[in-house]
């Protein structure tokens, strides 16, 4: 599975196509799935020594799937807009017969005997799996860099001296760098949206229960959400539409009809009321000036597009949500990995050991209190969000820092505003809203009512179409 075919360097116009663009070319028989997959495999081969986005590359398998896709399309068996589209997944998604490591020494030899439901749905739609992507160990980390994991840290394609967020770190890197057309990650406290913010891509944490977690290595049962990272909002909606839906394999799966998130996505936002969260409490981190300026400029764009902006206040400070998410995560994660901690803690990296220690010492009464407080906050926060069509909120308070700035790395991760919507379960999309003076992407979150991802995408699409940021790509 590690073997890579020897390929010529990829044509940039292929690896930087959007899903929407590539699917139209494939459907019109103007682009071969084999040609497209070869371009991405060549891109991986040309960039991996610098970016370390992948843990496992399935080159031969991807090419075989591409040949089958080409034959099916030629025979009139076109499956839809994802047919022939190459993607990759965080290495906590299981695929039958393929190693799942979770970036941990504890799982280096584990070969999966099941495939995640999300991957099954994508491959049934004709999408082609390129490989498994880098992550933090079992999805664990606060931004501290310890260099004690079995794989090198992923590097930011905008500047390889810069952080990539976490824990779906390779997913953000691969999409931004053009080594995957889209990627799947998972989000417990921000682990889709943080790497999306760091790498300047669009990352969706849907409403809790919309996407099945079956076949994904768990981090925290009551908070984990699987989600897509893409270059554009329209692509994101397309992928979510494919992977969403009830799954009896996942006890947390919502039994609801999946709407067509693309229907009305380009209808504009004139007349909408968009709530704006500006104050996240006295203990929220200070915001980098360029990040604040780009967030304020985003507000102006939304107003120019016809939306009415109103300032809203959450019922608790950012720290209140973060404390709840932390307590629940520590307790549930420990319950998942207790045996490994008690028997093989020496194989764990420091971040995971520290988290297991916190879970080991947690009292049941504190976990129960955190869950009770979470329910209260979810209801009171929903009352605020439901008064608007959508909400604009900060994502990270600064752009991706350098790896040698430990204090700022922790602030980027632990101080982000993402955990609010893990605690409440609301859909939240991290969207690129510009760049700072060093050329690093800035970010914001667009948040919706429960199960109203369609409106989130509509707002995001209107902003994206009115701004030039999707024309910018990292130069490698």
Instruction: List the catalytic residue out of 167, 179, 253, 419.
Output: 167
Residues 6+ apart with CB under 8 A from 357: none
Instruction: List the catalytic residue out of 23, 32, 90, 253.
Output: 90
Residue from 259, 215, 2 nearest 118 by CA: 215
Fill in the DSSP letter of residue 76.
T
How far, in Å, CA of 34 to CA of 357, rounded? 48
Instruction: List the catalytic residue out of 104, 179, 191, 333.
Output: 191
How far, in Å, CA of 405 to CA of 349, rounded? 20
User: Do residues 139 and 349 make contact, with C-beta atoms less than 8 angstroms apart?
Assistant: no
How far, in Å, CA of 395 to CA of 230, rounded? 17
Across 260-385, the runs of DSSP E, i.e. the strands, are 273-277, 308-312
Q: Quick check: is 313 catalytic?
A: no
How far, in Å, CA of 464 to CA of 476, rounded? 24
How far, in Å, CA of 358 to CA of 352, rounded? 10
Q: Which two tokens stand for residue 124?
A: 């049934």
Q: Quick check: is 350 catalytic?
A: no
**CA torsion 344→349→352→358, rounded to 10°?**
80
How far, in Å, CA of 435 to CA of 405, rounded? 20
- Cα–chain center distance at 180: 13
In 10 A of CB 451, how many CB atoms? 19
Q: Quick check: is 167 catalytic?
A: yes
Which residues are designated catalytic? 90, 167, 191
């Amino acid at each position: 599975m590690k073997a890579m075919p020897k390929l010529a360097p990829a044509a940039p116009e292929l690896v930087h196509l959007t899903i929407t663009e590539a699917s139209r070319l494939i459907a019109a028989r103007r682009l071969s799935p084999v040609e497209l997959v070869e371009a991405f495999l060549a891109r991986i081969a040309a960039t991996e020594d610098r970016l370390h986005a992948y843990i496992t590359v399935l080159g031969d398998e991807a090419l075989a799937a591409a040949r089958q896709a080409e034959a099916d399309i030629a025979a009139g068996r076109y499956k839809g807009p994802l047919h022939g589209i190459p993607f990759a997944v965080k290495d906590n998604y299981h695929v039958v017969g393929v190693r799942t490591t979770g970036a941990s020494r504890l799982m280096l030899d584990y070969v999966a005997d099941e495939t995640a439901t999300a991957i099954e749905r994508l491959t049934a739609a004709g999408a082609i799996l390129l490989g498994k992507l880098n992550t933090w160990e079992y999805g664990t980390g606060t931004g501290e860099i310890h260099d004690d994991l079995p794989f090198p840290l992923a590097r930011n394609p905008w500047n390889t001296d810069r952080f990539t967020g976490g824990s779906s770190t390779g997913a953000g890197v691969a999409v931004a760098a053009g080594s995957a057309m889209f990627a799947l990650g998972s989000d417990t406290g921000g682990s889709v949206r943080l790497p999306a913010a760091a790498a300047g891509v669009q990352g969706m944490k849907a409403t809790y229960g919309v996407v099945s977690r079956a076949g994904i290595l768990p981090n925290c049962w009551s908070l984990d959400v699987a989600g897509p990272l893409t270059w554009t909002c329209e692509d994101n909606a397309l992928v979510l539409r494919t992977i969403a839906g009830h799954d009896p394999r996942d006890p947390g799966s919502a039994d609801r009809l999946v709407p067509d998130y693309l229907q009305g996505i380009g209808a504009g936002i004139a007349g909408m009321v968009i709530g704006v969260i500006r104050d996240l409490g006295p203990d929220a981190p200070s915001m980098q000036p360029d990040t604040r300026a780009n967030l304020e400029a985003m507000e102006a764009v939304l107003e120019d597009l016809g939306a009415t902006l109103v300032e809203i206040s959450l019922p608790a400070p950012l720290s209140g949500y973060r404390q709840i998410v932390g307590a629940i995560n520590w307790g549930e994660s420990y319950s998942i990995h207790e045996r490994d901690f008690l028997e093989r803690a020496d194989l764990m990296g420091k971040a995971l050991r520290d988290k297991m220690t916190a879970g080991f010492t947690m009292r049941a009464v504190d976990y129960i209190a955190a869950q009770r407080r979470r329910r209260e906050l979810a209801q009171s926060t929903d009352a605020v969000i439901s008064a608007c069509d959508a909400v604009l909120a900060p994502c990270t308070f600064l752009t991706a820092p350098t790896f040698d700035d430990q204090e700022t790395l922790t602030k980027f991760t632990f101080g982000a505003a993402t955990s609010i919507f893990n605690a409440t379960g609301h859909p939240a999309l991290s969207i690129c809203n510009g760049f700072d003076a060093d050329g690093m992407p800035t970010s914001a979150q667009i948040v919706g009512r429960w199960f109203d991802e369609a409106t989130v995408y509509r707002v995001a699409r209107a902003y994206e179409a009115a701004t030039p940021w999707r024309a910018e790509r990292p130069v490698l």
